[in-house]
Structure 1
Amino acid sequence: SSIDEFLAVVNSSDEKYEHLTDEDREKVRKACEETSQWLDQQSAGQEKLPQTSDPVLTSGMINEEVKKVQRICLPVVNKKKPPPPKPKEQKKPEEGQKEESKNNEEDNDEKMPD
């Protein structure tokens, strides 16, 4: 079921889900737990009724609950892993700038009195 799949993702230690925060994982667990409890309560109520009674649990109700849990869980479990940080490149002075610095130093040496 969808609930089991969502729980498998958030309880997984798989590398592809390591970017999910504890808050994200808890949000999914809570939604799944609430939906599972609702389904258990409704199923128990349905089982107590005679077969000739109107149902307390319909497939439409179940589909609505599935949609609710999917609206909460799908954005979390489908969250893309952020790209790795780009290594910062150290800027090296260009060759032309090195030459100018050397020339300026030489000029300064020539101008300084002995």
Structure 2
Amino acid sequence: MLLGLLRKKGLTVLKLESKSAGDQITDTDVRQALARFFAQTSPATPLDTGDDGLELLSSGLLDSLAMVQLTMFLADELGFELSDEDFTEANFATLGSLVRLVSRKRNLVL
């Protein structure tokens, strides 16, 4: 239901290139996927994927709607779900902290 509502508003979930079984996702893969995700959700604000200190929460790049979309993106396209313990300000505050969270969680399921 929520995914349908997001798609009606023109917001799409983006797909990360498939990895073959046993391949680990790299930080570069994660950064590229997040750049595409944020380009879709915040097209007016280009993402510098090399800036680990880029503030996501305080800058508004990651708001409540983007958090829902990001959670669906991670589950649908990268093959894992975040646990309640993952939803901390520290994990989502900066680009670097988000990249580390995604890489760590994704590589646990491969």
TM range (shorter): under 0.3
Higher normalized helix content (fraction of residues) = 1
TM-score normalised to structure 1 length: 0.26
Q: Which has the larger radius of gyration?
A: 1
